[in-house]
Amino acid sequence: MSPEKFPVGDSAREAIDSLRGYVYQIFQSALAWTELNEGEFLFLEVAEDYAVAAQNALKAVQVKETAGSVTINSDDIVASIDSFVELRERNPGMDVTLRHLTTSTIGKEKKVGDRVNGLPTLDAWRKLAKAGDLTELRQVLAESKLSKKTKEFIEGFDDAGLRENFLKKIYFDCGAADSEFLARKIKSRVSSLLIDRGGVHSQSKACLDRIMMAVLQLSTNPNREERFLDRNSLEEILEEATRVESVRFSVYP
């Protein structure tokens, strides 16, 4: 049964896109949780949207479900690059990497001068992280919307140092799966984990609900020092989902 009349409001104030983005972030965080290895920790809303830390490595991930394409001039891209430099500064002694995970594809910059060797700068970034002349890329970055701190960070390295400490440490994972596909992927992942532990596929929905709720609750925990998950906390949920209570039968002579 549908309502006879839908309320009318200011469509500009609707938060649908924001909510969709939050849901996507929760799905990606939950998937990352199911992929943790022993000794790794998943931090939520502490270092980027989520980050995996193990020993001296910190792998931060910025998650975006957005339409269209992104370029070196996109606000989200600029924010991620600046964030990498900030994370590196705040976590000395750790091998920091940042992954910008987005459903948007890589686009070509409008101005030819914002491209590198005629290529979209984000595509050129991937190639130049391995080899090639960095002159054009340096010029594009110097004239970009990156922060002063980031530009000074870039200027502080020769080409070899820039590759090892900057270009190879930031990944633009564009064209990622959307929420609908991601939901199917994580459900399949949870189902496999349950079956490996003697469970059945039908248990996956309730188990996934618990996993998603745990991620959501921790992501919004006001105490940032409690916003982390590990493999053991996941195992607790999986074990509870597959636990079979013993039933005692009384046999009368």
Burial environment of residue 13 by CB neighbours within 10 A (0 to 12, 13 to 18, 19 or more): exposed
> 159 near 135, Cβ under 8 Å?
no
pLDDT in tens, 28-78: 999 999 999 988 999 998 666 889 988 789 999 999 888 899 999 999 999
CA distance 242 to 253: 34
Going by C-alpha positions, the residue among 50, 64, 74 that lies closest to residue 21 is 64
Tell me: pLDDT of 117 over 70.
yes
Looking at residue 11, its pLDDT comes to 45
Report how far Cα 170 is from the mean position of its chain's Cα atoms: 13
Reading the block at residue 80, the tokens are 């991620």
Confidence of residue 19 (pLDDT cuts 50, 70, 90): low
Confidence of residue 2 (pLDDT cuts 50, 70, 90): very low
For residue 170, which phi and psi values (nearest 5 degrees)? -120, 125
Looking at residue 14, its pLDDT comes to 44
pLDDT in tens, 171-207: 999 999 888 899 999 999 999 999 999 899 989 999 9
- Once rounded to an integer, what is the mean pLDDT over residues 67-92? 94
64 Cβ contact partners less than 8 Å away, ≥ 6 residues apart = 21, 24, 76, 100, 101, 102, 103, 104
Tell me: pLDDT of 123 over 50.
yes
- Residue listed under structure tokens 């820039």: 162
Across the chain, mean pLDDT equals 87
Looking at residue 70, its pLDDT comes to 96
Confidence of residue 156 (pLDDT cuts 50, 70, 90): very high
Q: Report in angstroms the alpha-carbon separations of 211 from 44, 108, 128, 189.
A: 14, 38, 39, 12
> 143 near 115, Cβ under 8 Å?
no
> 62 near 75, Cβ under 8 Å?
no
CA distance 42 to 112: 40
Looking at residue 250, its pLDDT comes to 46
More confident residue, 12 or 243: 243
157-166, 181-190, 217-226, 241-250 — which is least confidently predicted?
241-250
Going by C-alpha positions, the residue among 38, 43, 44 that lies closest to residue 235 is 38
Dihedral angle sign, alpha carbons of residues 81, 216, 24, 210: positive
Looking at residue 196, its pLDDT comes to 93
Domain residue extents for the chain: 15-174, 179-242
